[in-house]
Amino acid sequence: MPQPSPPSASPSFATRVAALAEGQVAVVGLPWDEQSSFMRGAALAPPRIREVLHDGSGNLCTEHGADLGATPGWTDVGDVALTSGPAVLAEIEAAIDALVERGARVLSLGGDHAVTYPVLRAYARAHPGLTVLHIDAHPDLYDQFEGSRLSHACPAARVMEEKLASRLVQVGIRTMTPHQREQATRFGVEVMEMRHWTPSRRLELGDAPVYLSLDLDALDPACAPGVSHHAPGGFTTREVLGILHTIGPALIGADIVEFNPRRDTGTTTAMLAAKFYREIVGRLLADRGRSAR
Ligand code: MN
Ligand code: MN
């Protein structure tokens, strides 16, 4: 059975991208946590997610029945080699650019949430007018946080300033500050606060293709202890899967961010991230023929 295995350190990222067939689903690791405000460790996430995905304890089937171990059309191209400091933004953007230029639909593995801004800069060029579905405990709308405009507390503000999305729909939010409420109003962010959530709720996402940014701290800490910022009162795993499975428009890209292996209990959060990895790759594969705008 063709079994996608965790990529080794070589060949280089550029070589793996050059070998990609047109229109693949590509998984890429972005091991960067320098913009984490409270605790480092999210940079360790991509190799840890792959480790548990392939540890033999489960299979590679999605809930919709696709066996990713026997399904062509997707590749894990490994981690992007990143330096440090603000240069990393351009490095991430160039890596995603290289993938989308090959027609790839990309699942990025963070890293902290700061990776989403450069990812979306590249994504918005290839897919103008996309809708961003942002699942998070936090709105990440700070103009700046502790002196940094690149902080993992700021990506949604940067995305809206640069008009990288036609709509930003946030769900799971339960940590709004007055400043961030002002920012949400200013940018026209569609915020569904967690206090208003009901499990039967269906999101109205319109027709434009959707990019999903999944911050694992959107889940309740009971389901996802391995995150830097524990925000009680969050989603169950099943609720987030329900949101993912009922996205109406085409899903054209996604990221899974803020998994911090240093805070995990056993394999709980690593397995959760690996579960979303499978389900998102399955959905990206299923949607490849839709809305290729
Ligand atoms: Mn976030
Ligand atoms: Mn968060």
How close is the Cα of 125 to the center of ligand 1, in Å?
A: 22
Q: Is the pTM value of this prediction over 0.85? A: yes
| pLDDT at res. 2 | 45
| pLDDT at res. 293 | 44
CA distance 283 to 75: 14
CATH number, domain of 256, equals 3.40.800.10
| pLDDT at res. 133 | 98
Q: Which ligand is nearest to the CA of 174?
A: 2
Specify whether the CB–CB gap between 141 and 177 falls below 8 A: no
How close is the Cα of 82 to the center of ligand 2, in Å?
A: 23
Domain that holds residue 106: 22-287
| pLDDT at res. 76 | 96
Q: Is 8 among the domain residues?
A: no
How close is the Cα of 46 to the center of ligand 2, in Å?
A: 18
CA distance 43 to 40: 8
How close is the Cα of 138 to the center of ligand 2, in Å?
A: 4
Q: What is the pLDDT along the chain (293 residues), one digit of tens a residue?
A: 444 555 555 578 889 999 999 999 999 999 999 999 999 999 999 999 999 999 999 999 999 999 999 999 999 999 999 999 999 999 999 999 999 999 999 999 999 999 999 999 999 999 999 999 999 999 999 999 999 999 999 999 999 999 999 999 999 999 999 999 999 999 999 999 999 999 888 899 999 999 999 999 999 999 999 999 999 999 999 999 999 999 999 999 999 999 999 999 999 999 999 999 999 999 999 999 886 54
CA distance 201 to 98: 37
Nearest Cα residue to 35 out of 158, 150, 193, 177: 150
| pLDDT at res. 291 | 65
Q: Is 195 among the domain residues?
A: yes
Q: Is 7 among the domain residues?
A: no
Q: Is 63 among the domain residues?
A: yes
Q: Is 6 among the domain residues?
A: no
Nearest Cα residue to 31 out of 126, 140, 108: 108
How close is the Cα of 137 to the center of ligand 2, in Å?
A: 5
Count CB-CB contacts under 10 A for residue 251. Answer: 25
Q: Is 104 among the domain residues?
A: yes
| pLDDT at res. 200 | 86
How close is the Cα of 278 to the center of ligand 2, in Å?
A: 21
How close is the Cα of 258 to the center of ligand 2, in Å?
A: 7
| pLDDT at res. 7 | 54
How close is the Cα of 113 to the center of ligand 1, in Å?
A: 5
Q: 192 — phi, psi (to 5°)?
A: -105, 105
**Six-digit token string for 204:** 């109205």
**Residue 125: which residues within 8 A CB-CB, separation 6 or more?**
97, 100
Count CB-CB contacts under 10 A for residue 262. Answer: 13
CA distance 214 to 234: 13
Backbone CA torsion sign across 42, 45, 48, 52 = positive
Q: Which ligand is nearest to the CA of 218?
A: 2
- Strand partners of residue 191: 170
How close is the Cα of 139 to the center of ligand 1, in Å?
A: 7
> Residue 147: CA atoms inside 13 Å, Cβ hemisphere, count?
0
Q: Which ligand is nearest to the CA of 228?
A: 2
Q: Is 43 among the domain residues?
A: yes
How close is the Cα of 217 to the center of ligand 2, in Å?
A: 5
How close is the Cα of 215 to the center of ligand 1, in Å?
A: 5
| pLDDT at res. 4 | 53
Nearest Cα residue to 199 out of 147, 162, 235: 235
**Domain count along the chain:** 1
Q: Is 126 among the domain residues?
A: yes
Query: How, if at all, do strands 131-135 and 167-173 pair?
Result: parallel
